[in-house]
Amino acid sequence: MAGLVLPAAASLVDQLDKRVLVILRDGRNLVGVMRSFDQFSNVVLEDAVERRVVIPAKEGVNAVYGDAPLGLYVVRGDSIVLLGEVDDAREASPQHPARMDIRDVLELERAGLAERAVVWDIEES
């Protein structure tokens, strides 16, 4: 589809069957395989997880994240702020927050030992 410019929701066709990160208006981050969308930008995610990123209060400790499984998930288009493809190589890099069990991430938050954060590296095209 090189050179083809699609209007509005139709431009989501490039993300079909790819792992995407969806940032919602309420601040949640969802990651899943985009299986479908409609003219209102409603999106269906398969194997969806809510990704919670925290920065531990300890000096010099990098951010960590945990994924809470959601399964098949429908996201209303009017709640989406940003949707983009997940780069597996970047996610595996040492600069990316380290993965941790979601229970440990939630415990860090509850105990006040970490602060919720958004630390995604979003590049300009």
Domains defined along the chain, listed by start: 8-116 (2.30.30.100)
- Summarize the confidence of residues 16-37 as an average pLDDT: 95
Measuring CA to CA, how many Å separate 121 from each of 12, 31, 57, 84, 95? 21, 15, 21, 11, 10
Tens of pLDDT, residue by residue over 35-46, are 999 989 999 999
Tens of pLDDT, residue by residue over 85-117, are 999 888 888 888 889 999 999 998 888 888 877
Question: Rounded distance, CA 38 to CA 28, Å?
Answer: 21
Residue 6: pLDDT band with limits 50, 70, 90: low
- Summarize the confidence of residues 81-87 as an average pLDDT: 92
pLDDT for residue 50 is more than 90: yes
- Summarize the confidence of residues 65-71 as an average pLDDT: 95
Query: pTM for this one?
Result: 0.82
Q: Are 101 and 70 spatial neighbours (Cβ–Cβ below 8 Å)? A: no
Which among 29, 26, 25, 27 has a CA at the least distance from the CA of 45?
Answer: 29
- pLDDT, position 31: 97
pLDDT for residue 10 is more than 60: yes
Which among 46, 37, 33, 35 has a CA at the least distance from the CA of 11?
Answer: 37
Q: Which helix (H) or strand (E) holds 51?
A: strand 43-56
